[in-house]
Amino acid sequence: MTRAPHAGPEPAPEPQDDAGGPVFYGRRMRSALMLGTAGYPSPAALAEAARAARPAAVTVSLRREDAGARAGAAFWELVRGLGAPLLPNTAGCFTAREAVTTAQMARELFGTDWIKLEVIGRADTLAPDPFGLVEAARILCAEGFRVFPYATEDAVLAERLLEAGCQVLMPWGAPIGAGLGLANPHGLRALRRCFPDVPMVIDAGLGLPSHAAAALEMGFDAVLVNTAVARAADPARMARAFARAVEAGALGRAAGPIPARETATPSTPLAGRPFS
């Protein structure tokens, strides 16, 4: 395995607009959009999408780097040039032991203690394995990792992950790559209410910018998008659309939206209305 060269200290976060960016493990992010790096039609398409999105972080799988020295070095140089912090992930791991080993290798290779923790329970849905996820999270948090666990919207699982030491949660919107958006909005709202002060990122299943805006309006702090951008006919344009959507969603939430109701409320008062 070829060790990637260290890039030195990461640049300071850029100034925020009125919406601001979320805070993960004490670091203020520049955006509420995180971007995956898999599945793009070309390295150039990935780079162009990242420039358009200006994401808070980009995820990268260790397996990409481990494919070979020359390919790994080339990909490392590409992601370094994207101008965003790296969030290595344990994609494709089906056991806690495999995920822990992959995370340890990623920290050595990428020089960061941030890790997106995935422990997959089913190959067909790519649903998280809650038991393996908690086990791996407990081990990695004890080793000093800043863990971003890919989970479901289950509040009991969320509580166990927080007890294990996680300070950020990443509930799925829908199965990875499904493009369904927020498949269980009631469950997601309940999760958000249960842990109002915990940073949460909607991870997986988003297909449209409107899905991202809805997640931010619901009170989530950020979204992580990969397939919806990578497989769009125009990845850069879709990335830009998602960037604007999360900004709109965050601003809308901060502005204090009116409550939903089942009856009409006139925008023009009836008092003083002329009668013939």
Residues taking part in catalysis: 116
Q: Is there a binding annotation on residue 207?
A: no
End-to-end CA distance of the chain: 86
* CA 239/CA 262 separation, integer angstroms: 35
In this structure, the dihedral spanned by the alpha carbons of residues 137, 141, 146 and 150, taken in order and rounded to 10 degrees, is 10
Contact 54, 13 (CB under 8 A): no
Alpha-carbon span 20 to 14, nearest angstrom: 10
Is residue 179 annotated as involved in ligand binding? no
Angle (deg, nearest 10), helices 96-110 and 130-142: 40
Q: Is 205 annotated as a binding residue?
A: yes
- The residue whose two tokens read 């958006």 is 181
Q: Is 268 annotated as a binding residue?
A: no
CA distance 166 to 31: 21
For helices 155-164 and 130-142, angle between their N-to-C axes, nearest 10 degrees: 20
> Taking phi first (over 0 means left), then psi (-120 to 50 degrees means alpha), and beta for anything else, what does residue 273 get?
beta
- Please state the φ and ψ torsions of residue 150, each to the nearest 5 degrees: -80, 115
Question: Residue 226 annotated as binding?
Answer: yes
Which residue, among 40, 56, 60, 39, has the nearest Cα to 48 in the 3D structure?
40
- Calpha distance 99→125 (Å, rounded): 18
- The C-alpha atoms of residue 161 and residue 151 are separated, in whole angstroms, by 9
Query: Which amino acids are annotated as binding site, given as ranges?
Result: 177, 204-205, 226-227
Binding residue positions for 1-deoxy-D-xylulose 5-phosphate = 177, 204-205, 226-227
